[in-house]
């Protein structure tokens, strides 16, 4: 509304303008300059023509100028600040400037910012100054600042905050509104003006107050800084982030690219969604970006908040007393419509809160229940941090730029320690930081003390700084000299060797012993701990706990070298050493060490009959190498899960038996001795998996339950089996096979005397124990028929228990002596019945020869081959007894050779083999031939046993299990055994002949046999 004063001002201005233009016409354009100056008016005088000569202060310099005005024009301006406009020339006659004044204004009371600005014309300044004279100095000053800022929108002062609290009265609010309404969005102007109108009409004081509050809320937006797109200084932001955040270069470059594209297009990027665990620092990064861009920003973190009702968030209706805008509206107001909104830990919000936040994530529109203004969020930069993207609806994710922040790499954390965390606290507490913390000490901090938790790491370093200051030191400790492990308080060995199951103890053990785990296990465990910290799915958490329990109890390989002779020494303590068994084991282990063949797993196969000490020998090897051992019996059961485990999705899922057994002690190693027992009785499925496990080209095997690779290069795998023919050839090729033969009688005498009885003496605390040589011979001849020594231990323990019962169930003050009666009475009947198949009445008769065979359990037996001439039978040859397979062929071959040897047709023969056992091999060929010859030549055969196969030319071929057959002959009292030369050479080469007390005659042809038995 135009006032009378305004009309008078406009008239006077018009008169002055016309007068100035008339004077201006008299002056040449080339001789004048523009006059636009504010000075302090000091004094006035006149020249000879009566025109005023003024003296003034121009920025501290006193000057004098002629004017085209009379004295009265300058009344009441003395010692005041005055603005002059017009043109000026130079009067060469009087040697001073002459001013042709257009306007002169007293600006003594004008705001300083309004005086010095060049963004407004003097006319604009004069009108604006006049419009704000009625307000207080604080209001005038703030309105001038806002007016100047709006005159040039790009020149915004970052320190210029909104101080709307100054505008408490309606007139003050209206004055501010008149300034900012030109940059205020239409929807805000409509609501403001509507609220202003209703506040005048409504009689209810409560509602009127609420409408005025709506107006005030609208004016509290920073409309000046949000008038247009603000350029983002990406280089400055990059520099600031580089000082506080290290690592994640790829993710940060993606953010910088989004912001640079925004500067070019003048369009704010889509919502930035940072996905990662809180330890990755995504919240801190989001705040750094928000505070560095140069606009307003607001932080929303409602993790764990439960409001019950939505009013605190979305506001309440104006019809209620004390109604007000909601929290979300206030945050938008704080940030501004072109500001940054950071929504932290979104996945931890309640579902109703997440629903209310959806418009913010989509950057569409938002309406508060109190303000009732439809806010356009498209110009806001929204940053959301979240550790579980599943909590963000799929349709919302489509409108986001998702950036994944994985766990920092170790080198990045070390860099953060030395470039960010330590310098930060050293600066805060006034410490020098002359030298970086060494990498190894940083690792100790990261794993042993901070458990890979960045917040804990920050706290730990601050604690070190505080302790250093408390000691009076001026510099951060030099950990290249003093190890940081000095801060460790607990006994390391106790922690390491303890078996842990409960998750807290497991976590404590894992991070204290972090460096003792292989790298692949370290990475897997860190991921699992993150699942425990941030995963909501109970099934995944339980699986993670179980996996951590297993892998935290197994450490990386023991790198101790083999001490030569240690295996031999340890084996000699616990068992009877056969041949070069110990030397061959040492050679297999030494081969890997000397050849630096770290990528090859040592695999030894122990072949031998049951009870010969294969498993106990493997255990002794583990002790000799100072390694733990695990023993898994795979005979008859178990498939691939024995080695590879069972997938967690399956019923009764579990890790491999190898991992289970290794973790039981609490300090297993990936270099322990693995004993797989009875593999020849395992399933085909297990054999397939074992073939992969023994692959020398693979450094790891995969456990399906743990879902990670396990290092296997340093395992010593010892496989035991009885029958090598049951093991596929590809598996045999991947192992060093060492044969563990049966024990001879002399072996068993030594073992019982030197190992079994002393062991029982120690176990039962017996003062002294002894045995008659006759009793020992009796036991070996009639009771101990097995190839091993396992039954002997049980038998003698049983004998001792009978003696103890006779002595009031104790061995105190008793010297135990075992004689023949003890053995007979305790063990009962002869156990060799049926194994010696030679009828006593047949001994010394023509046509009877002694054959040797071996049972499936590896026990040698003696049987008789009896031949008689029977002209009354229908067939030329009748065969009876348990003969099968190639043994029947041996009869035909023998008959063919004898007929040729005697050069006559054979009579009708009946050949019978006594029922010692089934005979299906060719090794009875020599015995059958000698039996037929003895019958036809009517020459008896002495106490000699035979073994060996023959061909039709009379050549004797080698056969198997010769050592066991010799043991059987020795047990049955046979003095001599005739055997193939090749088989004999095998006994000699393995030094088995030294363990036998029987005469052995090697032969190559049947003629040599005949010559030895009956002479030339």
Judgement on whether residues 467 and 520 belong to the same structural domain of the protein:
no
The maximal CA–CA distance of the chain, rounded, in angstroms, is: 183
pLDDT reported for residue 863:
84
Catalytic residue flag (residue 195): no
Catalytic residue among 125, 509, 965, 992: 965
**442 HSE (CA, 13 A, CB side):** 19
Distance CA 161, CA 139 (A): 14
**Size of the chain, expressed as the number of residues it contains:** 1016
β pairing state of 96-106 and 61-67:
parallel
Specify the pLDDT at position 597: 60
In sequence order, what are the beta bridge partners of 799? none
Residues 611 and 667 in one domain: yes
Distance CA 1010, CA 950 (A): 14
Looking at residue 837, its pLDDT comes to 57
Pairs from 260-268 (Cβ < 8 Å, separation ≥ 24): 260/234, 262/232, 263/231, 263/232, 263/234, 266/229, 268/229, 268/338, 268/378, 268/379, 268/380, 268/381
Residue 867, strand partner residues: 911
For the chain, helix, strand, coil in percent to 5 are 45, 20, 35
Element (H, E) at 235: helix 234-244
CA distance 194 to 828: 116
- Are both 845 and 974 inside the same structural domain? yes
The sign of the torsion formed by the CA atoms of 758, 760, 766, 770 equals negative
Q: Is position 126 within any domain?
A: no
- Which single residue is written with the structure tokens 């002790």? 623
Residue 341 is predicted with a pLDDT of: 94
In contact, 257 and 386? CB cutoff 8 Å: no
Q: Does one domain contain both 203 and 245? A: no
Residue whose entry in the numeric block shows the structure tokens 């090697």 = 1002
Q: How many domains does the chain have?
A: 8
Residue 264 lies in a domain: yes
Query: Are residue 346 and residue 386 in the same domain, yes or no?
Result: yes
Q: Do 216 and 249 have their domain in common? A: no
Both tokens of residue 376?
A: 């356009």
Q: Would you call 421 helix, strand, or coil by DSSP?
A: helix
Q: How far apart are CA 804 and CA 193, in angstroms?
A: 112
Domain identity same for 675 and 620: yes
Could you tell me if 926 and 1000 lie in one domain? yes
So what's the pLDDT on residue 641? 85
Long-range Cβ pairs for the range 792-795 (8 Å, 24+): 792/748, 792/751, 792/752, 792/756, 793/756, 793/759, 793/760, 795/826, 795/827
Burial class from Cβ neighbours inside 10 Å (0-12, 13-18, 19+) for residue 397 reads middle
Check which CATH number belongs to the domain holding 397 and give it: 3.40.50.300
User: Are 838 and 877 contacting, i.e. CB atoms less than 8 angstroms apart?
Assistant: no
Nearest-CA neighbor of 582 among 568, 598, 565, 600? Answer: 568
Give the separation between CA 187 and CA 795, rounded to whole angstroms. Answer: 102
The alpha helices in 152-185, defined as continuous H runs, are 170-180
pLDDT at 340: 92
Question: Domain for residue 888, yes or no?
Answer: yes
Q: How many Cβ atoms are within 10 Å of 858's Cβ, its own excluded?
A: 21
Q: Which residues pair with 851 in a beta bridge?
A: 863, 946
151 is a domain residue: no
pTM for the model stands at 0.59
In a domain, 570, yes or no: no
Domain span including residue 462: 418-471
Task: State which residues of the chain have pLDDT below 50.
Answer: 1-4, 7-8, 154-165, 486-490
**317 shares a domain with 395:** yes
* Residue 790 included in any domain: yes
Tell me whether residue 19 is in a domain. no
- Mark whether 248 and 391 lie in a shared domain: yes
- CA end-to-end span of the chain: 155
**pLDDT digit string, tens, across residues 824-834:** 888 888 777 66
- Determine which helix (DSSP H) or strand (DSSP E) holds 106, and give its type and residue range: strand 96-106
Residue 180 and residue 47: Cα distance in Å, rounded?
50
Residue 64 to residues 41, 47, 76, 96, 98, Cα–Cα distance (Å): 10, 12, 19, 7, 9
**Within this chain, do residues 86 and 105 fall inside the same structural domain, yes or no?**
yes
- What pLDDT was estimated at residue 4? 45
The per-residue pLDDT for range 387-443, each reduced to its tens digit, is: 878 888 888 888 889 888 876 777 778 888 888 888 888 888 888 888 888 887 887
User: Is the residue at 793 inside a domain?
Assistant: yes
Q: How far apart are CA 525 and CA 502, in angstroms?
A: 15
Among candidate residues 292, 441, 656, 923, the one labeled active-site is 923
Give me Rg for the CA atoms of the chain.
53
- Angle of helix 925-937 relative to helix 886-902, nearest 10 degrees? 40
Q: What is the CATH number of the domain that holds 95?
A: 2.40.50.140
Phi and psi for 247 in degrees, rounded to 5? Answer: 100, 180
State the CB neighbour count (10 A cutoff) for residue 811: 18
Between CA 416 and CA 419 the distance in angstroms is 5
Q: How many CB atoms lie within 10 A of CB 44?
A: 18
Q: Is 154 a catalytic residue?
A: no
The CA dihedral of 1003, 1008, 1012, 1014, to the nearest 10 degrees, is 150
Q: How many Å apart are CA 739 and CA 682, to the nearest integer?
A: 20
Last-in-domain residue among 520, 553, 586:
553
Let me know whether 382 and 241 are in one domain.
yes
Q: How far apart are CA 930 and CA 212, in angstroms?
A: 129
């Amino acid at each position: 509304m135009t006032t009378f004063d305004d009309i008078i001002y406009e008239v006077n201005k018009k008169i002055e303008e016309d007068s100035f233009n008339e004077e201006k016409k008299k002056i040449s354009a080339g001789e004048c300059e523009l006059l636009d100056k504010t000075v302090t008016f000091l004094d006035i005088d006149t020249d000879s023509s009566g025109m005023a000569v003024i003296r003034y202060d121009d920025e501290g310099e006193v000057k004098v100028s002629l004017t085209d005005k009379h004295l009265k024009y300058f009344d009441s301006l003395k010692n005041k600040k005055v603005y002059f406009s017009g043109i000026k020339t130079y009067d060469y006659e009087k040697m001073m400037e002459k001013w042709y004044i257009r306007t002169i204004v007293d600006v003594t009371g004008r705001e300083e910012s309004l005086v010095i600005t060049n963004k407004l014309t003097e006319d604009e300044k004069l009108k604006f100054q006049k419009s704000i004279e009625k307000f207080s100095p604080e209001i005038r000053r703030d309105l001038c600042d806002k007016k100047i800022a709006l005159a040039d929108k790009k020149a915004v002062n970052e320190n210029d905050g909104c101080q709307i609290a100054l505008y408490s009265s309606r007139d003050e609010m209206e004055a501010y509104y008149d300034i900012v309404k030109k940059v205020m969005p239409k929807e805000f102007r409509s609501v403001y003006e509507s609220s202003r109108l209703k506040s005048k009409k409504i009689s209810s004081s409560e509602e009127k107050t609420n409408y005025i509050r709506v107006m005030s809320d609208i004016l509290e937006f920073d409309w000046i800084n949000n008038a247009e797109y603000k350029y983002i200084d990406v280089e400055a932001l990059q520099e600031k982030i580089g000082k506080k955040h290290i690592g994640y270069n790829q993710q940060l470059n993606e953010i910088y690219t989004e912001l640079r594209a925004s500067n070019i297009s003048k369009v704010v990027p889509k919502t930035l969604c940072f996905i990662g665990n809180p330890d990755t620092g995504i919240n801190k990064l989001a705040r750094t970006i928000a505070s560095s861009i140069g606009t307003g920003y607001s932080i929303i973190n409602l993790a764990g908040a439960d409001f019950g009702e939505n009013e605190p968030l979305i506001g309440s209706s104006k019809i209620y007393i004390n109604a007000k805008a909601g929290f979300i509206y206030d945050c938008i107001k704080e940030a501004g419509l072109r500001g940054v909104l950071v929504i932290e830990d979104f996945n931890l919000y309640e579902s109703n809160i997440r629903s209310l936040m959806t418009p913010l994530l989509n950057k569409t529109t938002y309406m508060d229940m109190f303000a009732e203004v439809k806010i356009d969020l498209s110009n806001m930069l929204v940053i959301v941090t979240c550790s579980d993207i599943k909590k963000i609806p799929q349709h919302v994710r489509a409108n986001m730029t998702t950036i994944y922040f994985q766990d920092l790499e170790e080198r990045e954390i070390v860099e953060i320690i030395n470039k960010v965390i330590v310098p930060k606290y050293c600066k805060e507490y006034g410490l020098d930081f002359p030298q970086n913390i060494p990498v190894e000490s940083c690792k100790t901090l990261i794993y042993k003390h901070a458990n890979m938790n960045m917040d804990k790491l920050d706290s730990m370093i601050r604690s070190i700084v505080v302790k250093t200051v408390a000691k009076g030191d001026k510099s951060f400790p030099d950990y290249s000299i003093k190890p940081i492990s000095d801060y460790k308080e607990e006994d390391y060995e106790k922690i390491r060797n303890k078996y842990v199951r409960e998750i807290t103890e497991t976590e404590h053990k894992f991070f204290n012993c972090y460096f003792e785990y292989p790298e692949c296990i370290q990475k897997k465990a860190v991921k699992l701990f993150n699942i425990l910290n941030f995963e909501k799915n109970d099934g995944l958490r339980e699986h993670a706990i179980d996996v951590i329990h297993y892998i935290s109890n197994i450490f990386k390989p023991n790198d101790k070298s083999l001490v030569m002779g240690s295996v031999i020494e340890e084996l000699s303590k616990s068992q009877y050493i056969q041949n070069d068994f110990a030397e061959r084991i040492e050679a297999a282990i030494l081969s890997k060490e000397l050849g630096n063949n770290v990528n090859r797993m040592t695999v030894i196969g122990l072949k031998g009959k049951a009870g010969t000490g294969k498993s106990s020998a493997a255990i002794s090897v583990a002790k000799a190498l100072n390694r733990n051992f695990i023993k898994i019996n795979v005979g008859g059961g178990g498939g691939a899960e024995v080695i590879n485990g069972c997938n967690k999705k399956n019923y009764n899922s579990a890790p491999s038996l190898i991992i289970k057994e290794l973790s039981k002690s609490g300090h297993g190693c990936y270099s322990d001795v693995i004993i797989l027992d009875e593999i020849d009785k395992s399933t085909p499925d297990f054999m397939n998996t074992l073939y992969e496990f023994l692959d020398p080209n693979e450094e790891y095997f995969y456990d399906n339950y743990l879902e990670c690779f396990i290092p296997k290069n340093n395992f010593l795998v010892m496989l035991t089996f009885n029958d090598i023919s049951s093991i596929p050839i590809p598996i045999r090729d991947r192992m060093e096979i060492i044969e563990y033969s049966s024990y001879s009688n002399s072996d068993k005498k030594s073992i019982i005397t030197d190992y079994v009885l002393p062991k029982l003496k120690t176990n039962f605390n017996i003062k002294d124990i002894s045995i008659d040589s006759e009793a020992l011979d009796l036991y070996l001849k009639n009771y101990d028929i097995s190839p091993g020594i396992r039954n002997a231990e049980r038998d003698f323990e049983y004998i001792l228990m009978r003696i103890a019962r006779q002595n009031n169930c104790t061995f105190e003050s008793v010297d135990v002596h075992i004689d023949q009666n003890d053995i007979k009475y305790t063990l009962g009947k002869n156990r060799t019945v049926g194994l010696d198949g030679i009828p006593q009445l047949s001994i010394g008769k023509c046509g009877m020869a002694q054959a040797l065979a071996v049972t499936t359990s590896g026990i040698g037996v003696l049987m008789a081959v009896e031949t008689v001439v029977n002209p009354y039978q229908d067939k030329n040859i009748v065969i009876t007894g348990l003969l099968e397979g190639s043994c029947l062929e041996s009869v035909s071959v023998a008959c063919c050779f004898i007929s040729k040897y005697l050069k006559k047709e054979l009579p009708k023969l009946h050949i019978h083999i006594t029922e010692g056992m089934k005979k299906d091999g060719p090794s009875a060929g020599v015995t059958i031939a000698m039996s037929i010859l003895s019958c036809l030549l009517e020459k008896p055969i002495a106490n000699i046993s035979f073994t060996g196969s023959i061909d039709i030319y009379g050549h004797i071929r080698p056969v198997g299990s010769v050592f066991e057959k010799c043991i059987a002959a020795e047990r049955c009292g046979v003095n001599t055994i005739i055997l193939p030369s090749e088989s004999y050479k095998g006994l000699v080469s393995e030094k088995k002949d030294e363990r036998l007390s029987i005469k052995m005659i090697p032969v190559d042809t049947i003629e040599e046999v005949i010559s030895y038995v009956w002479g030339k």
